[in-house]
Amino acid sequence: MPKSLGKLPRRRAPPCHRDLDPKMCCPRGPLTEATLAEPLMLCGPSELSGLQRRRKYLQIDQIVEQKRPKVPAQLAMEEMLRLKLRLFDEKLGGGMLKAMVGRRDLAQHILSFVNAERPLVDTAVGGKMFADSGSANVDLFFHSVPSMPSSRGRPSGKVPLEEMLEKAWEENPEVCLKQIFLIGSAREGKQDRHSFYEAFQWLWWKDPATVLANLHHVPECNYWKALLEFLARLCEGPQRSKERDRALLNRFERCNGDAAESKKILMADAEPEEVGQAPPCPRGLSWCPGSRLELAEEALKRYEADPLYRCLLERTGQLFAAQLRDDLGKMKRGEQVSLCAKWCPWLNHSFDRRTLICESIARWLFPPSEFPGLTERHYAFRARDQLRKVLGELKEYMKCTERLMCQNRWAEIQYRRVHATCLSLNARIFEKRDPERFQSFLQKLLKRKGSVNVGALQPHELLKKAIKPSSSMEKMLAQAQWRSLVTQVRSSGCLSNCIAVCDVSGSMLCRAASGGTSLLDVAIAMSLLLAQVAEAPHQLITFSEEPRLVTLPDTEDLTELYRFVQGLDWGYTTNFHKVFELLKSKLPKQVFVFSDMQFAEAGGDHFDEPVLRKVQKDYEKLKLELPELVFWNLAADQSGAPALANDAGVVLMSGFSAQMFKSLMNPEAEAEVEQMEQIETCKGKKKRKNGIH
């Protein structure tokens, strides 16, 4: 986008006069309608007091517990066999079944449900891979990879996320639900918030009771703002959400990944082809968010039209109010408070303008009994004003960095306590406004006399900041945060005798994230992180037509390491089979493969089978034990699997998050946690009847 567009003055968007998205109806079917005679519960701006309000309700026959369809009794055994044997083929399971089953007719009946062979598909470079892993939940885990907002909804070789979720839910709803939260988990998961929002929206249409029953887990595994994002996306509809995501991405790239001068989205941030049904605007100025009253009117219409959305908004307000009340008590006692006040929306700001959520929070936090003798609208106004005061007090008590910046209180900022994302985005502002203290903080980091938060920053983000810094200060900060990330991952355990295989083929040059980040950058970042976390010697393999085993330079400088790996020989195909010919002389215990999984043909007499099968046969002939293989998928626009879910010694991973390494460092601890989760799930089934907890 031309730089001149970034300097355009802000101007009011023209009236939109939008109706509610017809796709955003109640997911529970027929509704009844009634003129409001009871309290409004959500008043909205006083300018809309004359708006006609007709509230819709679920019909009595719709308010029933949702039950999964049951398999008819005569088909129960056949259905069970299909599920149990879905991972076997005739060669693997046939002999075992015939030996264990005495009756010949029963053995033949069982074998009729076993696939003769797993279906194969072609890779982009002429190789073979499995069409799927044989398990819908494994496929969901392996293919849930972050994608660019501009690529969502466009045709590609990837199975849509909604389709993968549908199959995984049908296979095992509890595992699917855990995976949805794992996708968005900021501390232990994939840190893919956009896919998390998309998956949570799908779950809302699939089973809203499960969403409402598990809503309190969202701030724990993600953050408080995710509740607001989910609510706003349901209120606006998918088309508007897509337009906003695209505008946010353009704004982020226009600012080169740094904090913008204005936090509001400019109309210059939208592209004409992304706007859909919005009214025509001047070229490059097509983002039309609507005025304050237009957004409020849409929010009130959604509140009245969808009873389940009303439940969601009230539940969200209740969660915020409960945590704020708890934090107010801790503030009086001088204890540490949560980040709820930091992410709670300000009155008449973005999320409140789009959903009117502040009024709901205020009503739950300050009940009508605290304001006797007032009309409902006057009470709502007083409660909102009281919420504004409370948020100000809590943010002052927290010494919130953004608040101190807005008030020019730079000397009060403690940089070692600033959250990682805030520190990375505002580094240039800190250098400009508080140069002495910020430089002193960075010098302590270089001398290893201080610490810095790394938070949910991902390896490729830190690598990009280090190799293309806007200043030497930014490079120093990225280097310090990378060191903290290595320490954080290493604290979870140790990876001994392992090696990273970094795909540097031409197919890895496609775009993976904002700021011009490619899959190659992500693969290099993950490989460098693994090499530094693992025990010496710090080596990796770059593979294309001719793989090479290289030893990394003895330095911690990210720029030097990146240039060293990028300068190695690479081509336009990926010969995975030659990697294991290279490793025959000295076998590691684990091999991590960071790739888009588009491997070339195996060669020899094995043109019609995946390369993994060829490697397994070669090692079996040589009587060598094949190392544990970790296929780490980085591509969001591909389908298929390099291995099956039941293959021993193979792990399928995906994503850009360094936190996923922890699950491979402590397998015993992970198994113990999984066992405890299963115990809690069994206990919860006896107590809870509404939704899955």
Mean pLDDT of 475-484: 90
**Who's near 630: CB < 8 A, 6+ residues apart?**
590, 591, 592, 593, 651, 653, 664
pLDDT tens, residue by residue, 15-31: 444 555 555 555 555 55
Structure tokens at 394: 């809590």
The pTM is what? 0.80
Residue 505 contacts residue 466 (beta carbons within 8 Å): no
Domain 495-666 sits in CATH at 3.40.50.410
Give helix then strand counts, H and E, for the chain: 30, 12
pLDDT at 277: 37
Between these two residues, 152 and 238, which has the higher pLDDT value?
238
Residues 6+ apart with CB under 8 A from 600: 123, 125, 126, 127, 573, 574, 575, 576, 611
236-259: pLDDT as tens digits: 887 787 777 777 777 666 655 554
> 98-131, pLDDT tens digit by residue?
555 555 555 555 555 555 466 888 777 677 888 8
Q: Which comes out higher in pLDDT, residue 450 or 680?
A: 450
Give the C-alpha separation, 683 to 554, whole Å: 53
- Per-state percent for the chain, helix, strand, coil, to nearest 5: 55, 10, 40
Task: Show me where the domains of the chain are located.
Answer: 35-63+295-398, 73-122, 414-483, 495-666
Average of pLDDT values for 610-628? 86
Residue 604: pLDDT over 60:
no
Q: How confident is the model at residue 164 (pLDDT cuts 50, 70, 90)?
A: very high
Q: What is the mean pLDDT of the chain?
A: 77
Task: Assign 383 a pLDDT band (cuts: 50, 70, 90).
Answer: very high
Tokens of 325: 């009340």
Q: How many other CB atoms are found less than 10 A from the CB of residue 170?
A: 12
